[in-house]
Amino acid sequence: MSEWTAEIGTFLVQSVILTLLVLLAGFLLMRGKRGGERGASLKVESLNDQRRARNRRLKVNATAQGARKKLIKQLRREEKERQKTAKKSEEGAAARLWVLDFHGDIKASRTEQFAEEVSAVIEVAGAQDEAVIRLESGGGLVHAYGLAAAQLDRLREAGITTTVCIDKVAASGGYMMACTAHHIKAAPFAVIGSIGVVAQVPNIHRLLKRNDIDVEMLTAGRYKRTLTVLGENTEEGRAKFIDDLENTHKLFKQYVARHRPALDIDRLATGEIWYGSEALDERLIDSVGTSEAYLVERMKEVEAFTVKLEPPNTLGRRISVAVSSGIEQAVTKALGAIDATGWQRR
């Protein structure tokens, strides 16, 4: 019994520590957000260089110990020759691949950063260049994803060939973004589609009424409020709310149809989703494959660069990252301890 009490006490102490760490991480993150992205720097890395370095390392490690020195010398000579050839062709109009990432939450909160990355690419990309966007999003707020999709439209308007690669999901607002591309490639089981609109509003009017609580809502304008959380909803307000949803859905369908004219939009815009291989049959995408396979294939022909705007590495951000990592490790350890001791013994 005493051992069980000690374990409970240990768990309570860990819980208090975790709570304090969560509060500290939240404070640091909010402080970072208030500071904005001032001082953010654009990080550009060559995917070709990364791949060549990995290949060289694999070759060396896979070679017998006695033959490694000879292989390293050979690889160095080859790299020097490659660099010489690259310098000679620098003045030519060699095509380049610009790789951007967009991982969207419900508010598409990365849009501002993504917009700056798009601006950077537009300023340097030539007509022969291609932008590849590795996209992952299940959608979210209409206005937020409308703005995110507009950033991809900017690439098209600048005359840059755009390819969107979907490895996991691009649904609803995520598909709104994807449909702007010249070419959409999705993994076989990536989730595609969900061309629809959803909204839900909780209403506690009856609960308030049972407790003799009145709610006064005053508006100027017939439809300033339709459905409410606290007040009594009316059939007129409900009808208007649904009408607004239908209008949003119509605009969504028109947007997709304009970018993907081959789609049977009325048949596909039901809110349903399709997996990658099915989406190809429905013309929601243009090919099936992963982003990694596509980039490896393209890097045989062109130089590929990742473009990412990184926030300043401030003390607050470093502490926040460290705290977040500590929380994750502590939670895993605490849950593992409970599973291995307390709950099994009960």
Q: What is the pLDDT of residues 241-291, one digit of tens each?
A: 999 999 999 999 999 999 999 999 999 999 999 999 999 999 999 999 999
Per residue in 122-161, pLDDT tens?
A: 999 998 999 999 999 999 999 999 999 999 999 999 999 9
d(CA 166, CA 293): 12
Phi/psi at 342 (5° precision): -55, -60
Distance of CA 182 to the CA centre of its chain: 20
Q: What is the mean pLDDT of residues 312-338?
A: 59
d(CA 342, CA 7): 7
Which of 172, 194, 291, 320 does the annotation list as catalytic? Answer: 172
Read off the tokens for 220.
């100027």
Contacts of residue 105, defined as CB under 8 A and 6 or more positions apart, other chains included, come to 137, 140
* AA identity, residue 240: K
Residue 224 annotated in active site: yes
Helix (H) or strand (E) holding 193: strand 191-193
pTM: 0.76
d(CA 26, CA 324): 9
pLDDT at res. 9: 62
Please determine, for residue 90, whether its predicted confidence score (pLDDT) is greater than 70.
Answer: no
Please determine, for residue 179, whether its predicted confidence score (pLDDT) is greater than 60.
Answer: yes
Which of 87, 88, 224, 300 does the annotation list as catalytic? Answer: 224
pLDDT at res. 151: 97
Q: What is the mean pLDDT of residues 73-97?
A: 70
* AA identity, residue 35: G
